[in-house]
Chains A and B, each alone.
Chain A
């Protein structure tokens, strides 16, 4: 089982350009998440989706947008990148309402983005 895949692995992007980070999961989890990880700040939630067709804002949503057209895919778009968006981006998924009740999140391998 692949779990969660993310693409690209890394990217260098010029400021002002747009980019979409891809995330696909094969666990049929209903919830998906995007985080950014910065040194000293830990993981911060950007956007989330509890089910296909719905999305919500996390702690740091500005400058990012998401869509959830189906269960498996949850792309993150930067419409006009800025240097402060240089970070490592992680996609995660969880099974909301799982029997054990933990809603434990499982993470992808990450995308390293540098905005110059």
Chain B
């Protein structure tokens, strides 16, 4: 079993839809939880990070962490074609970071 599991998709939604992306993990020691966005042929860029359980909102993006269930989510409201990318979840204990395989999202106009 991988330490971090992420459905690779692909996921295709119409513009304006709410998108839900999820990861599960097995290591209860993880403390920091991040979402990276990666456009085609580019490096991953940090989208959001959260510490421990709870919600964090930034514009159209909301990150949720449920440590009791070892489950994290990223919600994208009013999705736009520019949101089309691969989304990677990541989690760490200090700088020991583990990544999910990434979910490829396409938002169609």
Contacts and interface: CB of A to CB of B under 8 A. Distances in A.
Interface in A65-98: 90, 94, 96
B45 interface: yes
Nearest to B31: A101
Contacts of A108: 43
A102 to B, nearest CB: 5
A107 B95 contact: no
Given A40-B101, A41-B101, A42-B101, A96 B95 contact: yes
A33, A40, A42, A50: most-surrounded residue (chain B CB, <10 A): A42
Nearest to A108: B43
Interface residues of B, number: 24
A42 B100 contact: yes
A43 B95 contact: no
A95 B15 CA distance: 37
A48 B8 CA distance: 26
Instruction: Bin the interface of chain A by size.
Output: 20 to 34
A54 interface: no
Interface in A25-81: 31, 33, 40-43, 45, 48, 50
B63 interface: no
A102 B43 contact: no
A109 B8 contact: no
A106 B46 contact: yes
B32 A102 contact: yes
Given A94-B95, A102-B51, A107 B32 contact: no
Contacts of B42: 109-110
A105 B97 contact: yes
A107 B6 CA distance: 20
A68 B49 CA distance: 28
14 contacts: A42-B100, A43-B44, A45-B97, A48-B95, A90-B44, A94-B95, A96-B94, A102-B51, A104-B49, A105-B90, A106-B46, A107-B36, A107-B45, A109-B43
Interface of A: 4, 31, 33, 40-43, 45, 48, 50, 90, 94, 96, 101-110
